[in-house]
Amino acid sequence: MTRILSVASECAPLIKTGGLADVVGALPAALTALGDEVKTLVPGYPAVMEKLGKTKEVAVFDDLFGGSAGLLSTKSAGLDLLVLDAPHLFDRVGGPYLGPDGKDWPDNPERFAALSWVAAHVAVQGAGGWVPQVVHGHDWQAGFTPEYLHGMGCDVPFVFTIHNVAFHGNAPADRLGSLRLDPWRFTPGHFEFWGQISALKAGLMGAQRITTVSQTYAEELLTAEFGIGMDGILRDRQAVLNGIVNGIDTDVWNPETDPEITPYKAPKGKQANKDALRAEFGLPEADGPLCVLVSRLTQQKGIDLLIDAIDALLERGGQLALLGSGDPALEAAVQHLATRHPNVAVRIGYDEGLSHRMMAGADAILVPSRFEPCGLTQLYGLRYGTVPLVALTGGLADTVINASPAALARGVATGIQFFPITGRALANAFGRLCDLYDTPKVWTAMQRNAMKQPVGWETSAAAYHALYDAVTEG
């Protein structure tokens, strides 16, 4: 058994902006099943605090980056939590990272430095008598943890997971003091990055092991195209870099028991959900496949490629139901698309229940991302027999078996991949999708294959379990 302190800026179902929260929320249960003991440290945002029941204060901080704070121990949503109750840092209207104006909070470096500093404090002092053997930080928001561990003279090993290398958590050098960082370590060998302080680099340089969320993404990160400035650092640290693909919570995402849908065990059971989904989005009956996209609306997610290629789907009688928000220009573009095409429907925003209904009712789930460290929506699609159409990158490459002639001949295909990642290649993929959909025997076999794929946390949790053993024994 290993005692693990997981440190993250979000955790489902308490607070979520993306797949990071799903991973942080689901992995502890899978590790517990293997005998590990996990406590998850998260900020006390209003959305988190209002969901907590009985709590116990296990630490008090008189001056935590500008104000007093407490550390609360509690259990919620099946998770063993440590919640950083620091109102001056986290009790704000807005999201975890952005204010009501849609811009980053100016003190984000200090806010998440505080989270990292408390993680190091727990590693040294414990929390209510509990002391971790490993600290596992997620993304830049936990990146300063090894710096604070070093400053406190603590040798508890630090494991660092990159969910998305695009976000560095940079701050100007004149904030060394406010971030409680040792100015003597403001060097390329620690956390200096082109004259700035980088929380992500601090985590990468200070970790005993670095993981990311798929093997292909681990390899992509070593290139200039995907490493986004960190590729040289990662090449230097390649010996401790591992790719461990994400899983999903198969209890929450279960077509046989999902309370949001008409339950089903086999592909034919999807029809009732498809009818309901069309009605909910105001889509007419159609001959082609009903596709869905549930995503942030950004260039990374390939939304512009979808807009360029969508006619290839619509001309074959296909349909699109889209749920998401993000770049205002892309929001406007997809809404304009819906006004021009009766077979396109758009909802701006996010709705967890609707995302389940979309997964159950659709024929195909679209993930045309330019890069995708792992991706979870394609895993939800597999679980629900909703055939993924995905770009050939990152975790999408690792989790979907392309409907190539060889895979179809062997009866193992679970989806469609396209490359290069361009609008033209996506349009061609829509043609392949429609051809397969028009061959019911082949299509149903793909749906069945998809529903048989192992998408839970069992295999991945075992890999993390072995990694924790390695760093504690080493």
Q: Residue 13 has which token pair?
A: 């179902």
Tell which residue, 352, 268, 277, 353, has the closest CA to residue 321: 277
Please tell me the distance from the alpha carbon of residue 294 to that of residue 325, in angstroms, as a whole number.
9
Q: Give the sign of the dihedral formed by CA 333, CA 339, CA 340, CA 342.
A: positive
- Binding-site residues for ADP-alpha-D-glucose sit at 16
Q: Residue 233 has which token pair?
A: 């650092």
Residue 343's alpha-carbon distances to 278, 317, 356, 364, 427, in angstroms, are 10, 8, 20, 15, 17
Cα 2–6–7 angle (5° rounding)? 155
Task: Give the list of residues 6+ apart from residue 310 with CB closer than 8 angstroms, or none.
Answer: 320, 337, 341, 344, 430
Beta bridge partners of 4: 38, 134
H/E stretch holding 295:
strand 290-297
Phi-psi region of 100 (alpha: psi -120 to 50; beta: other; left: phi over 0): alpha
- Binding-site residues sit at 16
Do residues 35 and 1 make contact, with C-beta atoms less than 8 angstroms apart? yes
